[in-house]
Amino acid sequence: MTGSDAVRLVLAVGRLGEADLAGWWRSHGLDAVGEYVLPDLFPRTAAIAGAELAVLSAAKRHRDALPDRGGMVHLFGEPLPAFALTTAWLAELKMGGDAALLDELRQWSNVEEAQDSVARLAGPPPPGEQIGATLRLGAVPTQALNDPEQAATITRSLGAAYVGQGREFVVPYYDLV
């Protein structure tokens, strides 16, 4: 998994969770509502602002749903490199570049299509242990996040854990050891 694959996966899950699809976070960044409202506010960067809204809404939803303790790795936060890469890519895209990925995400019209796309990017959902509104996928050592191959594997498994979830959101995470 390259850095661009990780960015694509984070954005895809961010879009999957939006209000018009799975409804896990209430953002409308890349749906028809965002497409209608955001161009008036951000004439040059409406799609990018919409993607940022989706990703930041997902990050907040994860922070709110996870226990208030350190040492957890999830798709929408530090210390996972994929989240930082995504926010950096979106910031850079404002200066110019190809926003075709965002156009593709805006076209998703139903949850099944979105979940199929995420599954193609991430692979099969991993096993985990549901604890309340969270899904513990296991434990990873801190140094694994510094190794590109291991970080990619962690990113893929986190992304895959969203596939098959219903409207009741369960936050996938790893304990950091």
What's the total number of domains in the chain? 1
Give, to the nearest 10 degrees, the angle between helix 148-160 and helix 81-93: 90
Does residue 141 carry a pLDDT above 90?
Answer: yes
Burial 153-169 (b: 16+ CB within 10 A, else e): ebbbbbbbbbbebeeeb
pTM for this structure? 0.95
- Average pLDDT for 15-42: 95
Q: What is the mean pLDDT of residues 18-41?
A: 95
Residue 1 has pLDDT above 80, yes or no: no
- Predicted pLDDT at 22: 96
More confident residue, 67 or 15: 15
Q: What is the pLDDT of residue 162?
A: 97
For residues 156 and 150, what is the distance between their CA atoms, to the nearest angstrom?
Answer: 10
pLDDT at 16 over 70: yes
Q: What is the mean pLDDT of the chain?
A: 94
pLDDT surpasses 90 at 70: no
The residue count for the chain: 177
Range of the domain at 107: 3-176
CA distance 136 to 130: 6
Q: Any bridge partners for residue 176, and if so which? A: 140
How close are the terminal C-alpha atoms of the chain, in Å? 23
Region 20-41 average pLDDT: 95
Give the Å distances, CA to CA, from 118 to 38, 40, 46, 91: 25, 30, 23, 23
Beta strands in the chain (DSSP E): 72-73, 129-131, 134-140, 171-176
Mean pLDDT score, 157-173:
94
